[in-house]
Amino acid sequence: MSLKYAVQPISPNHYVLPKLAGMNIEVHAFLSEALYEATDEALWAQAAAGASYEGVVGCYLMPDTHVGFGVPVGCVVVTDGVILQAGSGYDISCGVLYMKVPGLSAEQVRGKHERERWIHEVERRVATGVGSDRPKLMPKFSSKKAEELLRYGAKALGVRAELCERQYIPVPDDLDLHAIERAYDKVVPQLGSVGGGNHFIEMQVDRDDGSVWVMVHCGSRGYGWQTANHYFYEGARARGLPSQKRESSWLYADEPLGQAYWAHHNSAANFAVANRHIIVGGIQQALGEVFGVQGEVYYEISHNLVQQETISLPDGTTQRGFVHRKGATRAFPAGHPDLVGTAWSETGHPCLIPGSMYAGAAILFALPGAWQSGCSVNHGSGRLLARGAAKRTLERKQDEIDAEMRGVKRTFGSPGGARVEIEGIVGNTKHTPLDECGHVYKDLDEVLAVLEAEGIAKVAHRLYPVANMKGMD
């Protein structure tokens, strides 16, 4: 039986996979007709698997969804008393930090030379790539400070609570941070680094007002990956699964293994949050060196994470539950009970959405309709091509894609009302990474339009890149 063609539309942008054999709940998917048609059977099979776990009470697909490990990317699974390691995946707490740069506008970043200088100055202070060769100007951390960051995240850096989705997630005082040696060995060497894959630092300009922003996208680096890998294997053993099925394992929150995973998962999340704020220091120095200005942290948020939150049940009641966002972003609207007493209680918090290094990004705010999506939105635009396929199929277009990046012209607003044209997106690589170019991602504006049409979120800022630093593998 085809799962895809069992899906039923209930509005132009809202589809439901009914509860079929083995599923404990139905799956709600927020997709345009075109995005739905582009999905495949493998995606729906993973979604059905997500809705079949013990303890699951909610399952949602975001408009950027695609096949992942265990559950789809762009998936939200809500559970009661159960934790799914696949719900945060291998890059625990991968996420985004946005800085706004007062005193800098589209006019000041028109010149390619200045943007290239800025990239060079950031690279002198922030390590990129998997190998993490540390630049001389990059800060160093003692083991004692590193362990404080694993326990208290951004709070250990003095970052204000209103600038973070959460400063840190508590871990037990008696947690042995050395327990997973391969993970712990990555902490000190990789603090302050971006990593590889799709991680980046990017200067962007607001389409409407010409303001300049900097986006940081990275996660928990080797500490998070090794932590996740360890518990995938442990979880498979506990559930009697073969190692090749380890991403399908799950844990009871109150069993010793579940408690151990939750503690180490949270320490990895704390690493990621702290790491993004540490990177800000190098960016600030580079902004001062090249442009004579300083940025301000706007907000920081994760999109690969398990968190305990207030959730809405189908009957309209609420309860506490584990919300697994695998490639999805928390989207609490104004008045959400978990925002009471915070700076964002009356507006909802910002949702920071990277798109692609060509098509840009957005900042959203949740609307009341967010309750129907598990108080979640997309985490990006969503991949059309896997990395290997992108490199194989686009290799012959390398020169064309490079020219596209160098030659793109966009106009931006300005405080005076004039339009400012900026040519080209400068980068830190000789060639545009084929597995990260705009051709391998869905149309971000089509993805965002689904959320607006369903009353889930509104776009507050639409931003486009003018300088991009990729963490090359």
> Amino acid identity, residue 148?
E
Distance CA 472, CA 294 (A): 27
Contact 93, 301 (CB under 8 A): no
| Strand, coil or helix: 175 | coil
Q: Which residues of 421-454 are buried (b: 16+ CB within 10 A; e: fewer)?
A: ebebbbbbeeebbbbbbbbbbbbbebbbbbbeeb
Contact 381, 443 (CB under 8 A): yes
Half-sphere exposure of 130 (CA within 13 A, CB side): 5
- 379 catalytic residue (yes or no): yes
Contact 64, 327 (CB under 8 A): yes
Among 28, 379, 439, 461, the active-site one is: 379
Question: Tokens 């194989």 — which residue?
Answer: 392
Contact 57, 374 (CB under 8 A): no
Q: How, if at all, do strands 328-330 and 318-326 pair? A: unpaired
Q: What is the CA 437 to chain-centroid distance, rounded? A: 17
Q: Left if phi > 0, otherwise alpha if psi is -120 to 50, otherwise beta: which for 262?
A: alpha
Q: Which long-range contacts (CB under 8 A, 24 or more apart) does 249-257 make?
A: 249/85, 250/53, 250/54, 250/82, 250/83, 250/84, 250/85, 251/82, 251/83, 251/84, 251/85, 252/81, 252/82, 252/83, 253/81, 253/82, 253/83, 253/322, 254/81, 257/231
Distance CA 213, CA 234 (A): 42
Token digits for 210?
């010409």
Reference 283, options 176, 126, 143; nearest CA is 126
What are the φ/ψ torsions at residue 59 (nearest 5 degrees)? -145, 130
- Angle of helix 256-291 versus helix 221-239 axis, rounded to 10: 160
Q: Which residues are catalytic?
A: 379
